[in-house]
Structure 1
Amino acid sequence: VLGNMLHKAGYATGHFGKWHLGGQRDVGEAPLITEYGFDKSLTNFEGLGPRVLALCDAHNGKPIKRHALGSDTLGRGKIEWVDRSLVTQSFTQAAIEFIRQSQRQDKPFYVNLWPDDVHGPWYPPEVRRGDGSKRELYLGVLETMDEQLGELFDVIQSDPQLKQNTLILICSDNGPEPGAGSAGPFRGYKTMLYEGGIRSPLIAWGPGLMEESVQGQVNQTSVFAAIDLVPSLLEITGTEPDENVQFDGENLAGVLLGQSDQSRQEPIYFRRPPDRDSFYGVEDLPDLAVRDGNWKLLCEYDGSQAELYDLKNDRGETKNVADDHPEIVNRLKKQVVDWQESMPADNGENWKDESKKKNKKR
């Protein structure tokens, strides 16, 4: 949606990196990225069109592995194999080239740069493997990614026109994997609906768009979801949304630019990935979650096993206060169950049964 709307408004639009809408594990019939309003794209095994696929070298004398998950059999775009430690660099260089071309054409630009680092598998350069432990490999990939993204940031910062008229947003899609990253004070990991699984950082940089007094400040109060980015960025760019479009997100442009510490007004709903009811040693993870203001409720698909947390006073979700607030539990439980039933069905409730069937067929 954002790519299409900005493209119609005259922006050059490019997507470089992870896409996750076709390409992976035999999904070859999905639309190409350029069909979503992007002029140029370069992706990995989770998208279609031109893509870079990884050669995973553990630097231990063993054969180099190819990490493609079936993408290399799908066609629909030129494929280039590169060392896993250079995949992010491929995306960064493509983004830089796209930006320079946009400048030559005197066009404003919008770029998605979505590397799959620091997602596993972790194959940093040999000099950054450390002792070969999961944590050291993760940190080696992180340091390498910082350098590679830094090349793009240097291009923006060293060009006076770009520096004064560019907004860079840096965020993540989920929490860490145990033994690799850290969720700090928050409970849980990737795959979980606790804060450690779903809360992620958001950094906004735009010195020409922000008052000097707010640059470098930290906002720890605003509740802001990724779905709020689209209407917020449309506001910042002065782009009118398409007619009859109803966003799930809210316009919080002032929060991104440091002008406000307000929060979204509507609740945020979550449901776990269908294959992750039992993960990282937890046998029965909550299926659904909703955050409304400072209240956070987690429960099963039918609303049972409800847990309630006051995130203002207990951001680590250490004390379940459901028994103390039955009215809030009933209200939020109904909201999240109704939301779940309004969504397209997934196979979360019968994933284990379906998985057993697949295994028997094999």
Structure 2
Amino acid sequence: MRYVFQLAVSVCFGLLFVQSASADKPNIIYVMADDLGYGDLGCYGQEVIQTPRLDQMAAEGLKFTDFYAGNTVCAPSRCVLITGKHMGHAHVRGNASGGKDGSMLVQSLRGEDVTVAEVLKTAGYTNGLIGKWGLGEFDSPGFPMNQGFDRMYGYLNQVHAHNYYPEFIWDDRTKKPLRNVVKRNDSSYGGFTGGYATKRVDYTHDLFAAESLKFVRENKDGPFFLYLSLTAPHANNEASKMTGNGAEVPDFGIYADRDWPDQDKGQAAMITRMDSDVGRLLDLLGELGIAKDTFVFFTSDNGPHNESNHNLDRFNPSGPLRGTKRALYEGGIRVPGIAWWPGTIKPGSTTDHIAYFGDWMATVAELAGADVPDGIDSVSFAPTLLGNKDNQSQHEYLYWEFYEQGSRQAVRFGDWKAIRQPMITGKVELYHLADDIGERNNLAGAHPDLVKKAAAMMDEAHTPHPSWQVRGKSN
């Protein structure tokens, strides 16, 4: 099985592997870490935590320097990925909270939302979700098997997903009991009461890694789409509060003898463990003889955290970027992006093409030969994958909005980035990223024309939603 472009296109960029216009569709794998920072991988400048397999993946593939998550926290970022709509148009625009007023509990996709899995289904794909979903419970329209997935194994609820040693996980439509014993805390949010394990046997990250290998073996004749939504290195927030250490991992591995607090050892060990398992997945594709038929993309759902109580200064997870998770500065939303497709993507290449999670919809639809839904905010980056830069379309701008911490909006247009805090009414900050990747020099005063332009883009991009309101303001 081999995906190739039409001969007329192939000649213009001279790829020798192109054979015909009617080849089969590629397998597609999207691997997403949880709260992994732009600077957490060696190939993006990390000097302490070891990530040899992801570094190798980048060396054998294409590294994006300007790739963005859908949002700065979990659920809305995943909504952007799966629907191809940015935050001004998406239905899920924030994480669930305690929801005393019910205004922040819209955390399920609707029946009318069209997902990547549904689009690929029309092209004959078998679709699997392994890991964390966060976009709909079992009895909701957002349940993944109601949204185009044939296989589901993992967590539905974001709070349930905090615990690496839970009492159960979802196995398709069934709760599968695990051998862990959990002590729960006294409060519930997001529709779930979290906790930590007092008896640890089954580590979910390891279960997800094993299940992903099984899914690939069972569907090796393809085409298949695997959405491997890992939870590492997200903290168990409840464990952080109840025990002081939310970096849950079976062992500290190569960091066991470091003179570090356990939280730091655990954080590093989770990332290196994840790195190893991504390597196992790539190795399996080679063993099965389908590596050249499979497009793999690796990224993170948003910027890094210190919710496990580890030391951010030790690892510098945002690298040169300002901010972390929940910020709309670059450190909260710019994430690693590594594309791997042996024989198709040029090894050791790097691109500064500006792309984001919402572009996944148009990209895989193009690769699969499927139609894209109407009304999405998605630009295919397939030309960039194939080195056909001249045919790569660009966004006029990328847009984000965030409703916690008083709210904020951001827009990137070319080399410029603007942030408005609070949404709608706040002052606009302006940064020139080409010269100031760390967003230290606010140029708003020197460029009132660009401030006006950025504000107009934010106003255009934001569509009011009855369940997502700026607190105390009308929008």
Q: What is the CA distance between 1:349 and its match in structure 2? A: 2.3
Which residue is 2:414 aligned to? 293
1:35 counterpart = 2:146:
yes
Q: What is the CA distance between 1:30 and its match in structure 2? A: 4.8
Quick one: structure 1 residues 240 and 339, their matched pair in 2 at CA, closer, same or farther if it must change by over 3 Å? closer
Which residue is 1:275 aligned to? 404
Aligned mate of 2:228, from 107, 110, 113: 113
What CA distance in whole angstroms lies between the structure 2 residues aligned with 1:85 and 1:148?
16
Higher relative contact order (Cα pairs below 8 Å, separated by 6+ residues)? 2
Which residue is 2:120 aligned to? 6
What runs of 5+ residues in structure 1 fail to find an aligned partner? Answer: 57-62, 75-80, 278-285, 352-362
The answer to whether the 8 A contact 1:168-1:205 is kept is: yes
TM-score normalized with structure 2 length: 0.60
Q: What is the CA distance between 1:84 and its match in structure 2? A: 8.3
Q: What is the CA distance between 1:342 and its match in structure 2? A: 4.0
1:215 counterpart = 2:347:
yes
1:43-68 CA deviation, whole Å, 9 max, x = no partner?
A: 215279xx996327xxxxxx964579
1:235-259 CA deviation, whole Å, 9 max, x = no partner?
A: 11222335xx232011221123343
1:201 counterpart = 2:330:
no
What CA distance in whole angstroms lies between the structure 2 residues aligned with 1:47 and 1:41?
15
Quick one: structure 1 residues 31 and 341, their matched pair in 2 at CA, closer, same or farther if it must change by over 3 Å? closer
The answer to whether the 8 A contact 2:165-2:204 is kept is: no
| Identical columns (%) | 27
What CA distance in whole angstroms lies between the structure 2 residues aligned with 1:248 and 1:239?
16
1:246 counterpart = 2:375:
yes
**Residues 1-362 of structure 1 aligned to structure 2 (within 5 Å):** 1-23=115-137, 29-46=140-157, 54-55=164-165, 65=182, 83=200, 86-103=203-220, 106-121=221-236, 122-128=247-253, 130=256, 131-160=260-289, 162-178=290-306, 179-180=311-312, 182-210=317-345, 214-219=346-351, 221-242=352-373, 245-260=374-389, 262=392, 264-272=394-402, 274-277=403-406, 287-299=408-420, 300-343=422-465, 345-350=467-472
Query: Match for 2:294: what amino acid?
Result: T
Query: Match for 1:198: what amino acid?
Result: I
Quick one: structure 1 residues 307 and 35, their matched pair in 2 at CA, closer, same or farther if it must change by over 3 Å? same
Q: For structure 1, which segment, 64-73 or 262-271, has the greater mean C-alpha deviation from structure 2 after superposition?
A: 64-73
Quick one: structure 1 residues 64 and 72, their matched pair in 2 at CA, closer, same or farther if it must change by over 3 Å? farther
Q: What is the CA distance between 1:341 and its match in structure 2? A: 4.3
Q: Secondary structure at the match of 1:328?
A: helix
1:117-175 CA deviation, whole Å, 9 max, x = no partner?
A: 11112211234474444322210111122223332221112222x11100100011111
1:67-124 CA deviation, whole Å, 9 max, x = no partner?
A: 79689989xxxxxx99588312212222222222223xx3311110011111112211
What CA distance in whole angstroms lies between the structure 2 residues aligned with 1:334 and 1:216?
39
Q: Secondary structure at the match of 1:201?
A: strand
Q: What is the CA distance between 1:298 and its match in structure 2? A: 0.7
What CA distance in whole angstroms lies between the structure 2 residues aligned with 1:126 and 1:55?
14
Q: Secondary structure at the match of 2:358?
A: helix
What CA distance in whole angstroms lies between the structure 2 residues aligned with 1:73 and 1:249?
33
Quick one: structure 1 residues 38 and 326, their matched pair in 2 at CA, closer, same or farther if it must change by over 3 Å? same
The answer to whether the 8 A contact 1:45-1:52 is kept is: no
The answer to whether the 8 A contact 1:167-1:206 is kept is: yes
The answer to whether the 8 A contact 1:185-1:316 is kept is: yes
Q: What is the CA distance between 1:319 and its match in structure 2? A: 0.4
What runs of 5+ residues in structure 2 fail to find an aligned partner? Answer: 1-114, 167-179, 237-246
What CA distance in whole angstroms lies between the structure 1 residues aligned with 2:295 and 2:146?
25
Q: Secondary structure at the match of 2:285?
A: helix
What CA distance in whole angstroms lies between the structure 1 residues aligned with 2:405 and 2:452?
25
Residue correspondences, number: 317
The answer to whether the 8 A contact 1:22-1:47 is kept is: no
Query: Match for 1:40: what amino acid?
Result: R
Which residue is 2:87 aligned to? none
The answer to whether the 8 A contact 1:165-1:209 is kept is: no
Quick one: structure 1 residues 228 and 31, their matched pair in 2 at CA, closer, same or farther if it must change by over 3 Å? closer
Root mean square deviation of aligned Cα: 3.2
Query: Match for 1:310: what amino acid?
Result: H
What CA distance in whole angstroms lies between the structure 1 residues aligned with 2:457 and 2:304?
28
Query: Match for 1:88: what amino acid?
Result: H
What CA distance in whole angstroms lies between the structure 2 residues aligned with 1:258 and 1:66?
52
Quick one: structure 1 residues 72 and 177, their matched pair in 2 at CA, closer, same or farther if it must change by over 3 Å? closer
Quick one: structure 1 residues 41 and 134, their matched pair in 2 at CA, closer, same or farther if it must change by over 3 Å? same
